[in-house]
Amino acid sequence: MKGKICLFIALVGLCNVYAQNNFSYPCESSDDIEECIRDYFSESGDCEKSTHEDGEPIPNQSQNAYFSKSNITVLASKANVTYINPQIRTFYINENTSNLVFAVEFDAIIMDSEYTSFRFHQVAREPIITGDAVNASYHPTIFSSLLALYLDIPTAVKEAFLTGASHFFALYLQKYFCDFGISLNSSGVGNTIGML
């Protein structure tokens, strides 16, 4: 019985060691967190420091969104993306996993496109395709005017951000902090994020 108790105590102690916060905050004491993050990336990675003025559009070759629940694919070309009031919420490294956590909140992300293709995929039929210029603001009311998506707004917003959020973040990172020289298009952003 005594051996079992010691083993239990040893396991609890081991679990507590791994449960402890082992985070480092490279910009915690910086007066200018944005410049500190630029320095961090330029010193840690193969990139050139970059800056961008809030509210100024960034040219974006393409932006895609997939809405599986309503069978709609949206393909925007020659788009411009504008970030409104980005606020850095956290920037740290988990030393146990070597993961960098960088969280940013925006008041809005605005995507303007000269031409956007909407494809409604039908079962056992060709898709219905239409297109137009688009100006979309990604905030809580973005999809309120689209009837098919209006029926389930929480799912529509999740689908849009699951397919677009990593691209928006990679574009923000390259234009505001450090340009890694990677061509960004939303169809290949998964590989882009992995390389960063």
Specify the pLDDT at position 39.
93
Specify the pLDDT at position 49.
92
At a CB cut-off of 8 Å and minimum separation 6, what does 172 contact? 83, 86, 104
Tell me the pTM.
0.66
Q: Which of 19, 1, 138, 11 is nearest to 76 (CA)?
A: 138
The pLDDT tens digits of the residues spanning 41-64 come to 999 878 899 998 888 898 887 778
Lowest mean pLDDT: which of 58-67, 147-156, 163-172? 147-156
CA-to-CA separations, 74 to 106, 134, 163, in angstroms, rounded: 22, 10, 11
Average pLDDT, the chain: 74
Mean pLDDT of 2-13: 35
- The strand pairing partners of 121, in sequence order, are none
Over pLDDT 90: what percentage of the chain?
Answer: 18
